[in-house]
């Protein structure tokens, strides 16, 4: 808790005069903010009813959602209750933490976009260049999803950012401090140089403190070329993890933070060089189910006719030396549309390539969100195979049929915990689907 308080106090101490890293978490997620003037407010409430398929069993479902937005604050709360022939679906109401899970997000972003705080499940948190923390997700185990926090603030010379994946601070915590030491010089290239140190620590009590994962990475980035609305930013990062290995990450970002007041564009081409026992972005989309004290089990592990518990993916201590190519593209049309794609192609004889996709669109009649993370890939063509055991998927589409009548389709591929005779944490694929219909009222 002390680390969290120090981080929050650091935000208030900064002189906020420059922009932030726009790839930090949900900072400019178009589904969480509206283009409102400072005097405007927007509130909606929606009530849905329908069916819910979880695993092999159908249930009835009722869902209530409340949204409140201003130019700086935004809140979304969602409550869900499911029931079937065996009564209420207990994971929705079996612990006090379920009250926190009503929060989809509560966020603040000031007018200059220099201070940002968000509370809610994490879905896309990235620290710095993403060398160690990349697309961190705290809702991979849907019934045990945790409410975390991400926050950042930037000044003319200094910047800070940080996250916790659980507000009770028994999970992953990370922070970043950056400095632009030549900000007062006339030379634009020197003025743009930014140095940063990033660190994370696993605070889970599932392992002794000496075996808990921790890592840091030091990075440098600068603006090398500037032409009109576009600029080229080469970067280099060195990371070291405990009790694992080390890695070098370098490349360049080609970007436009504001293209004709319409869009934000970002393209990255970069290379990873990794030692044994090091995976880039290890604290990422599958961290909750693939870490030193948790593993995903393959869904069809058998010896003869008997099922066996075989882990999917590769244990970190078994990872061999490798190098990887990263391609990334993000197109954001402010408050309306987002396409964010990243593919990490590992040139190794092990299946350790990763793919991430975030796609969203919002119009007067349609709200669409698609998120997908895939691991255990070998090459680009693996993307055309069926979803493997190391995969998550979120599809949500809401469509206004007429007036206040809306339909909602919500599908998720996540994980659930399997019973184990010991203290080990083992997870299997958990799929759910909910077709709903209801009313949506605006105030």
Rounded to whole angstroms, the Cα distance separating 131 from 198 reads: 9
Token pair 């004709």: residue: 260
**Cβ atoms of 98 and 80 closer than 8 Å:** no
DSSP letter at 6? Answer: H
Rounded to whole angstroms, the Cα distance separating 119 from 388 reads: 31
Tell me the backbone φ, ψ of residue 340, rounded to 5 degrees. -130, 115
Rounded to whole angstroms, the Cα distance separating 138 from 145 reads: 6
| Residue 155: per-residue pLDDT | 86
**Cβ atoms of 389 and 376 closer than 8 Å:** yes
Kindly state the tokens that stand for 153: 């603030």
Rounded to whole angstroms, the Cα distance separating 56 from 60 reads: 14
335-357 pLDDT, tens digit per residue, is 889 999 999 999 988 889 999 99
DSSP letter at 31? Answer: T
DSSP letter at 279? Answer: -
| Residue 208: per-residue pLDDT | 67
Rounded to whole angstroms, the Cα distance separating 45 from 95 reads: 25
Q: Choose among 174, 412, 392, 162: nearest CA to 288.
A: 392
DSSP letter at 212? Answer: S
Give the residues across from 57 on adjacent strands: 54
Low-confidence ranges of the chain (pLDDT < 70): 1-20, 207-210, 300-308, 421-423
Rounded to whole angstroms, the Cα distance separating 192 from 221 reads: 8
CB neighbours of residue 146 within 10 Å: 22
Rounded to whole angstroms, the Cα distance separating 14 from 160 reads: 9
CB neighbours of residue 18 within 10 Å: 17
| Residue 304: per-residue pLDDT | 47
Question: Is the pTM for the entire model greater than 0.95?
Answer: no
| Residue 14: per-residue pLDDT | 43
> Beta strand pairing status for 294-296 and 425-442?
parallel
| Residue 10: per-residue pLDDT | 46
| Residue 97: per-residue pLDDT | 92
Q: Choose among 74, 154, 150: nearest CA to 117.
A: 150
Token pair 């691991």: residue: 375
Rounded to whole angstroms, the Cα distance separating 392 from 375 reads: 9
Q: Where are the beta strands (DSSP E) in 312-365?
A: 322-333, 337-347, 353-362
| Residue 12: per-residue pLDDT | 42
Tell me the backbone φ, ψ of residue 122, rounded to 5 degrees. -80, 145
7: enclosing H helix or E strand: helix 2-13
Rounded to whole angstroms, the Cα distance separating 272 from 281 reads: 11
| Residue 66: per-residue pLDDT | 95
Q: Choose among 78, 80, 76, 103: nearest CA to 93.
A: 80
Kindly state the tokens that stand for 304: 């003869």
């Amino acid at each position: 808790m002390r680390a969290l308080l120090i981080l929050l106090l650091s935000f208030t101490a900064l002189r906020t005069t420059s922009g932030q890293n726009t790839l930090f978490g949900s900072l400019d997620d178009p589904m969480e903010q509206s283009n409102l003037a400072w005097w405007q407010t927007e509130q909606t409430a929606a009530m849905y009813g329908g069916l819910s398929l979880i695993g092999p069993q159908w249930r009835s479902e009722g869902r209530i959602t409340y949204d409140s937005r201003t130019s700086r604050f935004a809140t979304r709360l969602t409550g869900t209750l499911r029931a079937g022939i065996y009564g209420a679906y207990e994971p929705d109401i079996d612990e006090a933490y379920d009250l926190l899970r009503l929060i989809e997000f509560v966020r603040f972003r000031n007018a200059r976009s220099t201070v940002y705080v968000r509370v809610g499940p994490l879905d896309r948190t990235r620290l710095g260049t993403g060398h160690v923390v990349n697309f961190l997700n705290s809702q991979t185990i849907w019934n045990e999803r945790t409410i975390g926090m991400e926050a950042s603030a930037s000044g003319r010379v200094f910047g800070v950012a940080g996250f916790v994946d659980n507000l009770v601070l028994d999970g992953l915590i990370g922070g970043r401090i950056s400095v632009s030491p030549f900000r007062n010089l006339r030379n634009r290239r020197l003025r743009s140089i930014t140095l940063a140190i990033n660190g994370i620590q696993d605070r889970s009590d599932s392992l002794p403190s000496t075996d808990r994962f921790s890592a840091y990475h030091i990075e440098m980035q600068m603006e090398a070329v500037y032409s009109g609305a576009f600029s080229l930013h080469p970067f280099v990062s060195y990371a070291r993890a405990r009790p694992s290995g080390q890695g070098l990450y370098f490349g360049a970002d080609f970007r436009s933070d504001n293209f004709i007041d319409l869009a934000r564009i970002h393209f990255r081409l970069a290379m990873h060089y990794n030692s044994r026992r090091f995976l880039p972005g290890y604290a990422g989309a599958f961290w909750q189910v693939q870490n030193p004290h948790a593993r995903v089990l393959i869904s069809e592990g058998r010896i003869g006719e008997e099922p066996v518990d075989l882990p999917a993916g590769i244990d970190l201590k078994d990872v061999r030396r490798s190098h990887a190519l990263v391609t990334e593209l993000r197109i954001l049309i402010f408050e309306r549309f987002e396409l964010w794609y990243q593919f990490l192609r590992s040139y190794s004889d092990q299946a350790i390539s990763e793919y991430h996709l975030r796609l969203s669109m919002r119009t007067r009649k349609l709200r669409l969100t698609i998120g997908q993370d895939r691991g255990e890939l070998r090459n680009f063509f693996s993307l055309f195979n069926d979803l493997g055991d190391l995969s998550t998927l979120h599809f949500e589409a809401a469509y206004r049929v007429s007036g206040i009548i809306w339909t909602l389709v919500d599908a998720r591929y996540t994980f659930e915990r399997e019973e184990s005779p010991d203290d080990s944490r083992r997870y299997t694929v958990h799929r759910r689907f909910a077709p709903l219909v209801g009313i949506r009222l605006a105030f």
